[in-house]
Amino acid sequence: MIVLVGFLFLRSGMDWLGTWQLWVFVVAVGVLFWFMPRGDRMSAGADWVDAGRHGSVRTYDLVSIDIRGTVGSHQLILRDRDGGTIDHDLNDFRENPFLWDLVFNGIRHSLAGGAEITPEAHRVLQIGEVGIGPP
């Protein structure tokens, strides 16, 4: 948009400001961007997480934790014992520290209860020894 404005200033000075067709175009583009989807909404509670169209799970009832992808674009895959699944970008979880804290605590609790975790997920999530209670 800035490039277009710069081009118009160089080409015709201030004359382009009086062109009504251009203003209709600018307003139409603005309205289009206003109504475009802005990404997934995620929410979490004490023992659940919902990643919109990517699924939902009960974080304290997980049976498997997996990570797929490459550095910078890991997909976190969680499955709970009721069949719920999430397959979503790990960075989206980590962007919100409060949400990530709820999810990570649920993962650690599930691991202590016997959930399976892949070696890659263990490495990427930086999970240490998991046990219940103080050492």
pLDDT band at residue 21 under the 50/70/90 scheme: confident
Average per-residue pLDDT for the chain: 82
58-96 confidence digits (pLDDT tens): 999 999 999 998 877 899 999 999 999 999 888 888 888
Residue 54 is predicted with a pLDDT of: 80
- SS3 assignment, position 62: strand
Asked if 24 and 38 touch (Cβ cutoff 8 Å), the reply is no
Q: In degrees to the nearest 10, what's the CA dihedral of 88, 89, 94, 95?
A: -110
Single-letter amino acid, residue 89: D
Q: CA-CA distance, 105 to 99, in Å (whole number)? A: 10
